[in-house]
Structure 1
Amino acid sequence: QKIIDPTQAPPWAPIDCEKLGRIIEMLEAAAKQASRRWPSKKLAEVAAEIYNALGHEHTFDEARVERILKLVINR
């Protein structure tokens, strides 16, 4: 398992809009399936948290995102 070291990350990196959009879609679907509805602000905060948890990976590991979503939805 990869551990993200915040001291190694660049101070600023552009957001991959496609990756963030896919996380939001998956998050909305997972929340709907769990009969949860979040306001836009909460949805954006959680999506950003998941995006940051993925670090600067270039590939989109959908299975990993789904595991993270399950943890987030059930907390």
Structure 2
Amino acid sequence: SMGSEALAAQLRTQLGVDDHGHTADGQLELRPVYCLGACACAPALQLDGQLHARVTPEKLSALLASCSKEAKC
């Protein structure tokens, strides 16, 4: 909710995958979910079990960049 569609589109573009798809290296999977229980600080996403709140396009890009630098995200 609250901006998640734009972030999901950004993810699909940056990762080159569709919903329920994996990146070519198998490191990331894009899974849409109905609720993370974080509506008060939406848009939110979960990455490697950690909740990230009030995600902006810039914050999302930084999160993805940090994943590409790590062996596991």
* Shorter-normalised TM range: 0.3 to 0.5
TM-score normalised by L of structure 2: 0.43
The structure with higher relative contact order (CA 8 Å, sep 6+) is 1
- Which protein has the larger Cα radius of gyration, Structure 1 or Structure 2? 1
Higher helix share goes to which structure?
A: 1
Higher strand share goes to which structure?
A: 2
